Amino acid sequence: MPPARIAPSSSKGKSKGAFPSHGRLARKPLAPVELNPLSYDRTDPFTALNAMRTVLAALPTRQLRLTVEEHALVMRLLAIVEPFVGPAPARRALTRLPTEILDAVAFCVDDKRDLLALALTCRRMYSVVFPRHYDYRIIKCKVSSLRVWNHLIVRRGLARNVRQLEVLDERSTEPETIPCDIETSDTDLESSDDELEMHAKQERYLAAALARMTALVSFTWSCSHLPISVESLWPILMKCQTLQQVTVNDNLVFSPDNDDESSAARKKRQVVVSPDFEQVSTICVNNAIVSCIAGRDASAAIAPASVQMFCLRGHRQSLKIDYTSRRGPGFSSPILDDFLLCGRWPNLRTLALTNLRCSPQAGFDATMGFLLAHPQLEVLYLDVAFGAGSPYVFPPGCIPRLRELRCGRDIAGALLACPGGLDGRPLDVIGGMRLSGSMRDTSFLYALKQYGKSVRRIELAGWTDMDDIRQLAESAPQLTWLDVGRRTTSAHAAKPASATTTNVAEWAAILAQLPQLTTFHGVRFFYEVAQGSGATLSVPLTLSERSRMRRNDEIASLLAWKCTKLRRLDHWEEGSGRVVVLLRDGDKVRYEVRRVKT
């Protein structure tokens, strides 16, 4: 049955006086209108507007009444026309944009959670985000994953959507994160029976794919595979304008120099630690992070070529060199002399040197010269061995902007005693010290009492006796955060931590000397009770659990009475990601277990 149509009404049967004739011409018959709403395209407002005008023009001849079909048609036509002529933008205008614009919108979103939220807005965005962006933001795979590199080489538009790339070690058991639409296997690509040719092919594919990742933000190299060196990738990384963070986990960074080795072979073997990258915004701080896992022998040192690459450009703001030593003969911390003597970055803000050492010839003077050349430092992690008998004397005005310091006890005391300028250093956090109960603690505690008025947070690496904590509280009564770490013996060997301390009253008397203290960590005061004991439990508690709950209530009341501002303490389970929070309601005090980010 053909669809109904509206025909103009006939003038037959009407009186002559219905339309006065003053020489007017007869009206032009109206064109028929399609009543099926689905026959009108929602992207064609002109056709919809003309059809709506035709329907409304016929109303005077039918007493201004619309049929049910005509009313449904007019509402459909209004929905088509309104987004194009209304004063406010259409709510669903995003879905009508071209696919290229939607792809450009998704390209500006880096976080995968934000991409997921964008994809769930409508079906059209879902079809753009998931095939092209969501699976390509983070890629983790090995160098031998040729199908991944070949896929990114062939499809350049998808390679530019990668933000984080991590190259895993061939022996790693960590699962790979690759796009699900990659189906080509390694055997479908060129193959070679020669092992050296195979590594050259892998390096060639990786370099070609990396060159197409023009929007890369983070690059992590965790492969210590000898035939392939990260040094060959630096020219490509230097061209990436969006790169903000480089992490190298490679034991070749601290490889020793071999005099019998040729210069070409040495250049091939040495691994450049990190290039330097321009700052792309005021929020994203440029990072050059090096986390090295092992050295070769006791003569390991940062290679001179690596130091030269460090000094190419001086816009770095954050630098971290971390060395994890192996136990056994022949392994020791790498020497840091070349780095301290040659490395200069005027804009350096954060420096972390962990488990390194200086040669006896350089000693502490090389480190002091490095710190004097970087007056913009705000965060300093210094775990460097300078040799026995090295005097720690800082000149006045050294590191005037230091806010956070983590180092040994002697260095911290010497830096506190050093004048930091006209207004003094804004030093707020000190950590990494170990109190041994010896006479060497006296200079540090005296400097903390005299010059550490701005320190509000102290995180100790360890302590020996309760007198150490008592003297620390007397030297820094302005603390708001205190972490005492693990209790050790005089030989710095950690004792097995007990489940709960029994001398709560003695600890409360010491903490009472810190009237501004809000957070205390390192000692567990509370006994283990059933989870959710503060609320209504469906299962009845045993007598022992009720006794522990009463004991915990007494401990909470005692600590809240002695420390009026104390709020956060350690949970009874170590490493559980939970803390105990003291809640005060007038004269009543109760404790509550809450989960925190670790």
d(CA 546, CA 569): 21
Measured N-to-C along each axis, helices 112-119 and 99-107 cross at an angle, to the nearest 10 degrees, of 150
Chain segment 480-529, per-residue pLDDT in tens = 999 999 888 644 444 455 567 888 999 999 999 999 999 999 999 999 88
d(CA 508, CA 582): 14
Beta bridge partners of 335: 301, 357
Report pLDDT for 388: 66
Q: Please enumerate in sequence order all residues whose Cβ is within 8 A of that of 198, keeping only pairs 6 or more positions apart, or say none.
A: 192
Report pLDDT for 266: 36
Report pLDDT for 287: 34
d(CA 422, CA 453): 15
DSSP 488: B
Report pLDDT for 214: 92
d(CA 511, CA 562): 7
526 contacts 549 by C-beta, under 8 angstroms? no
Q: Please enumerate in sequence order all residues whose Cβ is within 8 A of that of 252, keeping only pairs 6 or more positions apart, or say none.
A: 224, 226, 229, 269, 270, 271
How far, in Å, are 28, 39, 153, 481, 537 from residue 48 at the CA level? 21, 10, 47, 69, 65
337 contacts 362 by C-beta, under 8 angstroms? yes
3-state DSSP percent of the chain in helix, strand and coil, to 5: 35, 15, 50
DSSP of 72-128: HHHHHHHHHHHHHHSSSPPTT-GGGS-HHHHHHHHHT---HHHHHHHHTT-HHHHHH
Chain segment 371-404, per-residue pLDDT in tens = 999 999 999 999 888 876 667 888 888 899 999 9
Report pLDDT for 159: 94
Which of 191, 180, 176 minimizes the C-alpha distance to 158? Answer: 180
Report pLDDT for 86: 60
Of the pLDDT bands very low, low, confident and very high (cuts 50, 70, 90), residue 281 is very low
Residue 291 phi/psi, 5-degree rounding, is: -120, 105
DSSP of 362-427: THHHHHHHHHHT-TT--EEEEEEE--TT----PPTTSSTT--EEE--HHHHHHHHHS--SSS----
Burial status of residue 554 (CB atoms within 10 A of its CB: 0-12, 13-18, 19 or more): exposed
Chain segment 125-174, per-residue pLDDT in tens = 999 999 899 999 999 999 888 889 999 999 999 999 999 999 998 888 88
Of the pLDDT bands very low, low, confident and very high (cuts 50, 70, 90), residue 431 is very high
Report, as an integer, the average pLDDT of 6-16. Answer: 46
The strand pair at 462-463 and 218-221 is best described as unpaired
Task: Give the Cβ contact number of residue 277 at 10 Å.
Answer: 22
Report pLDDT for 197: 78
3 state SS for 182-239:
CCCCHHHCCCCCCHHHHHHHHHHHHHHHHHCCCCCCEEEECCCCCCCCHHHHHHHHHH
d(CA 241, CA 238): 8
Of 16-20, 91-95, 281-285, 590-594, the range with the lowest mean pLDDT is: 281-285
The answer to whether residue 316 scores a pLDDT higher than 50 is yes
354 contacts 291 by C-beta, under 8 angstroms? no
Percentage of residues in the chain having pLDDT higher than 70: 73
d(CA 561, CA 554): 11
Report pLDDT for 387: 72
For 356-371, b where at least 16 C-beta lie within 10 A, e where not — what string?
bbbeeebbbebbbebb
For residue 394, the one-letter residue type is: F
Report pLDDT for 542: 81
The strand pair at 245-248 and 429-431 is best described as unpaired
d(CA 353, CA 314): 18
490 contacts 464 by C-beta, under 8 angstroms? yes
Chain segment 410-426, per-residue pLDDT in tens = 999 999 988 876 567 89
